[in-house]
Structure 1
Amino acid sequence: MRRLASGASPKPRARDLGLPFPGEAGPFNAITDVAGVAVGYSTVISDSPDSGRGSARTGVTTVLPRGRTGPLRAPVWAGFHSLNGNGEMTGTHWIKEAGYFTGPIGITNTHSIGIVHQSILQWMIERPEAGVGAYKFILPVVGETCDAYLNDMDAFHVAPAHVTEALNSASSGPLAEGNVGGGTGMICFEFKGGTGTSSRVVELLGASYTVGCLVQANFGIRPLLKVLGVPVGEHLTSNRLWVGEQGSIIAVVATDAPLMPTQLERLARRAGLGIGRTGTPSGDGSGDLCLAFSTANLTKSESAAAPAVGDLAFLPNNRLDTLFEATAQSVEEAIINAMVAAERMVGREDKLVTAIDHGALREVMRNYGRLSA
């Protein structure tokens, strides 16, 4: 049984509908198949017309690369790629410079990136084991996509307590998808979108490695939607919302494979290929930002005593193709999982976004000979 947001019911995923995604998924088919990685959510839904604030259809997602009980200050090697830069992910200048980051990742709506950034700092400061204090600092990684169609972003509904909830609830295991956390008010290919996840297990040079991803999917226009290469968007044409590409996607890729920062940047680029497989050209108005990190090569923080010369294990560049394909596959499936799990939503000013119809999706896939069940 998958762990779901409080009060939710189990939802089918893309493979449950018979969509034959390639590759071997991990036991949870989630980013949490990478050992130690934990994910938490806070979902904010409310309507308070007397408060002077618009509807809330938003939230926060947190990804803790080493979990809540792991070494919070220990860095993880990382790489970043911007497929199209009309968006924000903080901390990426240091990732480009030094090849690592420390602490949790936060994902939210565009106007809440500041409060999430500050609240992650506060959460870290309150934990002595994090090693944050006088003369020490961290640069949290916080990404955003815009949920303004369904959510009143100008009302700043996300509060520090929501960030704390997402951090304190972070756990491993199966994950809720769709209208949860930062993905609550998001739209994908003009269907309800949101949070999605997937993973792949690969054999490489005699060892088994896992690649997992989590996406906040909020991009694309309907006619371009493809599922496993099938032009689904050309057939499911009702309840359109707009004519031009807009929105964004945040893709976070985790792996336990030992990789250098330059190799992780290459992995982040392949996340862009997974996004592209769903049909988007990554339009001018879209912020398509990809982050990849590795939990291997655990090292002490720079604030702790460290040897003058460190050792870093890494796979050879000419053997990474398997990881590249696993990344593209898992990102593509995570996006479709987000849409399959999402439910119709009425938001600010009574705007409606419909969910993709599972039966109609199966029928299109069947007509193209791409249904396994």
Structure 2
Amino acid sequence: MKVDKSSMSGPSTKPRARDLGLPFAGKTGPLNAITDVVGVEVGYATVISDPPGSSNRSARTGITAILPRGRSGPLRAPVWAGFHSLNGNGEMTGTHWIKEAGYFLGPIGITNTHSLGTVHQAMLQWMIEKPDTGFGAYSWMLPVVAETCDSYLNDMNAFHVTPGHVMQALNSASDGPLAEGSVGGGTGMICFEFKGGTGTSSRVIEQLGESYTIGCLVQANFGIRPLLKVLGVPVGEHLTGDRLWVREQGSIIVVVATNAPLMPTQLERIARRAGLGIGRTGTPSGDGSGDLCLAFSTANLTKSESAAAPAMGDLAFIPNNKLDTLFEATAQSVEEAIINAMVAAEPMVGRENRRVAAIDHDALKQVMYNYGRLSA
């Protein structure tokens, strides 16, 4: 029997990294999530099913939707953006235009590799059908949709994610606390050979007399166990059970949001610093990994006269020599979001009865204590 679980934005009962006492640096927003950036909304559709008599057709997948300006916001208003590929064995649509023009319109979708096309088309349909968008019959749109591969636990060739799931994620998006771990696009993902998935975090920084928020959401599906580091501690050298493979594989998608006024070139620099946050967890970004990072700013709201281009106007931005605090906040929040994804995830059995263990919280805390990074 098929079960479609909608893990919508809402308080999660699962512990997070800070709940274990892990001393991550930096001041977080009230939710410690990408939704601390005002206006940003996130929705999930989680698809879990086991068709009778066929263990290799199991569904352990879903879709995560991020709305930079929310469902009630101006859909035609662009957000300035920057993109960086730490390693390009993956896909994120719309990035050629982002690198060319420095902005995009509409939501972001994150799913599994073989469902990218379904999500792309369904997001187009969602935007076209919204009554107040006025895109017109022949206006073009380039949705941003990214993927990581969940084929170890999920039968990607069965195309379990449907347009209905995409609509569900978009229409359920909210600005509240977010569930993490095995939800949305992260449902079937694996991180450092532990169960991985969706994670989020945020930082609040002060710059030029103003307070700004940096928030991120990751779909963590990368890494090999011996390289895992948590706050610099070589955790993977000690938690050696339940190994899955001998070489790095998988990918990670990082979406960074901020309300700080930044130019597209500066947002590309922010996206590159997301790669530093990934690297802090120990990965060298292997050949088979699609490590793709997108950063956008909700500042400089432009009400475009055309869906094709922002109207001419003034652009406020923080000077380049004042960006260091934003760079550090980005790396901090991405690192913590990845660990949050693993801490929140639970063991999962998927297609062909394959099992992926979750990281053991007590064992993790013991290693951190042994290295002096956690109090007794």
The counterpart of 1:96, out of the listed 75, 95, 99, is: 99
Query: For the aligned residues, what is the CA RMSD?
Result: 1.9
Distance in structure 1 (CA, Å) of the matches to 2:310 and 2:20: 52
Q: Give the match for residue 343 of structure 2.
A: 340
Shift of residue 135, structure 1, vs aligned partner: 2.2
* Shift, 1:129, TM fit: 1.6
Q: Is the 8 A contact 2:47 2:59 kept in 1?
A: yes
User: Are positions 1:355 and 2:358 aligned together?
Assistant: yes
Q: Which of 220, 223, 228 lines up with 1:225 in the alignment?
A: 228
Partner of 1:66: 69
Please give the per-residue CA displacement for 1:286-310, whole angstroms capped at 9, x wherever unaligned. Answer: 0000000000000022517999741
| TM superposition shift of 1:138 | 0.9
Q: 1:220 and 1:90 mapped to 2: Cα distance?
A: 23
Write the mapping of 1:71-220 to structure 2, written as runs, cut at 5 A.
71-220=74-223
The structure 1 residue matched to 2:16, chosen from 1, 9, 13, is 13
Give the structure 2 partner of residue 57 of structure 1: 60
Gap change, CA 1:66 and 1:309, over 3 Å in 2: closer
Equivalent residue letter for 1:124: M
Distance in 1 (alpha carbons) for counterparts of 2:32 and 2:130: 31
Q: Which runs of 5+ in 2 are unaligned?
A: 1-5
Pair 1:263 & 2:305 matched? no
Task: Give the unaligned 5+ runs of structure 1.
Answer: none
| Structure 2 CA distance for partners of 1:147 and 1:265, relative to 1, 3 Å | same
Correspondences of 1:194-343 after superposition (within 5 Å):
194-303=197-306, 309-343=312-346
Give yes or no for contact 2:88–2:291 (8 Å, CA) kept in 1. yes
State how far apart, in whole Å, the 2-side matches of 1:51 and 1:146 are: 21
Alpha-carbon distance between aligned partners in 1 of 2:375 and 2:127, rounded to the nearest angstrom: 46
Structure-2 residue corresponding to 1:364:
367
In structure 2, give the amino acid aligned to 1:46: S
Q: Is the 8 A contact 1:189 1:225 kept in 2?
A: yes
Question: Deviation string for 1:187-235 (max 9, x for gaps)?
Answer: 0000000000000000001000000000000000000000000000000
Deviations 1:31-78 (A, max 9, x none): 000000000000000000357970000000000000010001110000
Superposition deviation, residue 132 in structure 1: 2.0
SS at match of 2:57: coil
Report the CA distance shift for 1:6/1:270 in structure 2 as closer, same or farther (over 3 A): closer
- Say if 1:9 and 1:141 are closer, same or farther in 2 by CA, change over 3 A: closer
Q: CA deviation at 1:172?
A: 0.4
Report if the CA contact (8 A) 1:225-1:279 is conserved: yes
Instruction: Find the residue that maps to 1:325 and give its secondary structure.
Output: helix
CA contact (8 A) 1:18 1:371 kept: yes
Q: Contact 2:9–2:42 at 8 Å: present in 1 too?
A: no
- For the residue of structure 1 that corresponds to 2:132, the secondary structure is helix
TM-score normalized by the length of structure 2? 0.96
Q: Count residues in correspondence.
A: 371
Aligned-pair distance for 1:317?
0.2
SS at match of 2:328: helix
Q: Distance in 2 between matches of 1:291 and 1:92?
A: 9
1:198 and 1:333 in contact (8 A); partners too: yes
TM-score, normalised to structure 1, is: 0.96
Kept in 1: contact 2:36–2:215 (CA 8 A): yes
